[in-house]
Structures are given as structure tokens and as C-alpha cells.
Amino acid sequence: MELLRTPEAMRAWADGRRAGGVRIGLVPTMGYLHEGHASLVRIAAARGCGKVVASIFVNPAQFGPGEDYEKYPRDEARDLATLRAAGTSAVYLPGVADMYPDGYQTYVEVGDVSQGLCGAARPGHFRGVATVVAKLFLAAKPHVAVFGEKDYQQLAVIRALARDLDFGIEIVGAPIVREEDGLAMSSRNAYLKGDDRIAARCLSRGLFRAKALFDGGERDAGKLVAAARKEIKAEPRAALNYAEGRDPVTLAPLSGEVAAVTILVAARVGPARLIDNVTLGT
Ligand code: AMP
């Protein structure tokens, strides 16, 4: 497994693989990896990528003032072991000064799909995400890039980015990997201790409750969302940020009778801001 620490090294590696006719898969991450991340590497390989490159970069541009950039968990040695075990060919680990050197002044803004939900709660977040992902695409030159549905709005932003800027990269969405008790795996789960860890189950419990109603025939988007919201609000250790029903493709707000809906939730539990979602009816 090769380690590449600068955009130049990443580009040279990618050019070499492309010259050899290899299909490159890219899995961008912020490190502190878990089984959800490993699943993305395996999905890229299963999509016919002869080489899979994972990136590890805690991107300061996507954190707001007062957010957890400084304390975001980091463990490079463990991450490299996880990636090696998952079959990763190369790891791109640029430094902040490599990505944003003095004089850096270029940012990418994706429109409607960046608005609302986490875009409202975290101003500038998706501008930072779109910018860093564009830079990763240009350095790693992948044919395929895999992103988790865990970050559903982010996946929609990246689909728009890849399409609108003609990257010619196939964007693949990967299913959410969960802990046994339903909690969506997340690097930020490391912040959850004791009662907060138990309380964090309320997000997935709410979504599963909505799914049970949908499976039982309920099609009113408002009622499905209300069921998820109720579970989260009933948990005293959780502070609900949002619970919304959106179109699974466009993320446009939905109400009334629906054939398909994605319910997205965000809540703070102790020190952690957690997000989760479920898509019903597709
Ligand atoms: P992060 O390191 O949190 O920025 O996540 C890197 C990639 O892993 C993103 O595409 C995430 O959506 C994806 N990811 C994170 N958690 C999960 C999970 N539990 N299941 C599937 N994909 C995930």
C-alpha cells in the first residue's frame, strides 16, 4: 500500500495507473476509520476498480468556528491498518499546507442541494466539502468515487458537483453501516460515553419507527417524519436539530402523500452532533 503525501505525488501515482489502463476508485475520508469506511473500499473494488485509493484529510474548510476541527479524532497508524485489511492500494494523506497553501483563494459552491438541513445548521460546510472533493478528484483522477449514504445531503452535493463540473467520474452511494443497536457508525461516535452512547440510539430508533409505519402502509410524509421526530424528542439527552422528509433524488421538501421519501435527522447528544437518515419506498 503506497502512501502519498502531496498533490504532486497523488497525481503522478494516478497518471501511472491510468497509463497502465487501470480503473481507479477513490474513497475520501477524514480518518478515524470504522467498518463503514472499509465497506466503501470494498464497494469500489467490486465496481471493477483495479486500484482503490483512500484519502485521509481532516478538511479545515468544512468546519465552522466553534466546531470540532481541533479535537476531531485522529489515529493514522490504526487507519492504515484498516485500509490495508480492506484491500486499499494507496492512501493519500496531504497536509493542510499542501491543500491550502498561503494565497489559496478558490472555492466551489453547489447550489440548491446545499441549502437547508446540514447546510442551514453548518453555514459554509458544503462549500468546504465541495472544494476539497474537487481537489481530491483532480489529484486522484478516479474513474469511480464512493461516498456513504450516511451523509445523504453530502452525497447529493457531490453528485451535483461531479455532474455540473463535467468531472466524468461515476459517483457511487453506499449503504449506511450500523452498530448492532442501530446507531449509524461515525468517527464522531468516539465522543459518546456512557448514557450518551445509549441515548444516541434515538436517531435510528426514530427512523426505524418511520420505516415500520411506511411498511404498514402509511404514506403521509408529515406523519412519517413526526414519528421519527417524536422518538428523538422523547430522549432527554438529545437536542433535535432537524427531522425532515425530502425527495430521495432532488432533496426537495415533501409533504402529503408520497411514493418515496428520505427522512433525514440531526441531533446533538452530549458533545456529539449526529446525523442519520432512511429512504423509504425505492
Ligand atoms: P468521514 O470520514 O466521516 O468524512 O466519512 C467518509 C466517507 O465515509 C463518507 O462518504 C461517509 O458518508 C462515509 N461513511 C461514514 N460513516 C459511514 C457509515 N456508517 N456507513 C457508510 N458510509 C459511511
Do strands 170-174 and 272-280 pair parallel, antiparallel, or not at all (unpaired)? Answer: unpaired
Q: Is 30 in the pocket of ligand 1 (CB under 6 A)?
A: yes
Task: Characterize 230-251 residue by residue with b for buried, 16 or more Cβ atoms within 10 angstroms of its Cβ, and e for exposed.
Answer: ebbbebebbebbbbbbbebeeb
Write down the mean pLDDT value for the chain: 98
Q: Is 125 among the residues known to form the active site?
A: no
- Mean pLDDT within 57-82: 98
Residues of the chain with CATH 3.30.1300.10: 187-280
Q: Which of 52, 63, 59 is nearest to 74 (CA)?
A: 59
Q: Which CATH architecture has domain 187-280?
A: 2-Layer Sandwich (3.30)
Q: Is 79 in the pocket of ligand 1 (CB under 6 A)?
A: no
pLDDT digits (tens, 9 = 90+) for 132-147: 999 999 999 999 999 9
Q: Is the pLDDT of residue 226 over 90?
A: yes
Cβ atoms of residues 133 and 99 within 8 Å: no
Q: Which CATH class is domain 2-174?
A: alpha beta
Q: Is the pLDDT of residue 269 over 90?
A: yes
Confidence (pLDDT) at 257: 97
pLDDT digits (tens, 9 = 90+) for 7-42: 999 999 999 999 999 999 999 999 999 999 999 999
Q: Is the pLDDT of residue 50 over 90?
A: yes
Percent of the chain with pLDDT over 90: 100
CA 142 – ligand 1 centroid, Å: 18
Q: Is 151 in the pocket of ligand 1 (CB under 6 A)?
A: yes
pTM of the model: 0.98
> Which phi and psi (to 5°) does residue 268 adopt?
-95, 130
Confidence (pLDDT) at 43: 98
pLDDT digits (tens, 9 = 90+) for 159-171: 999 999 999 999 9
* Cβ neighbours of residue 48 closer than 8 Å, sequence gap 6 or more: 23, 144
Q: Which of 280, 243, 279 is nearest to 121 (CA)?
A: 243
Percent of the chain with pLDDT over 70: 100
Give helix then strand counts, H and E, for the chain: 10, 9
Residues of the chain with CATH 3.40.50.620: 2-174
Query: Which atom of ligand 1 sits closest to the CA of residue 175?
Result: 21
Do strands 261-269 and 238-246 pair parallel, antiparallel, or not at all (unpaired)? Answer: antiparallel
Q: Is the pLDDT of residue 92 over 90?
A: yes
How many angstroms separate the CA atoms of 244 and 225, rounded? 6
How many angstroms separate the CA atoms of 138 and 14, rounded? 10
Amino acid sitting at position 7: P
Q: How distant, in Å, are the alpha carbons of 13, 28, 87, 159, 165 from that of 133?
A: 18, 8, 22, 11, 12
Amino acid sitting at position 142: P
Q: Is the pLDDT of residue 215 over 90?
A: yes
Confidence (pLDDT) at 282: 82
CA 208 – ligand 1 centroid, Å: 20
DSSP helix/strand/coil, 126: helix
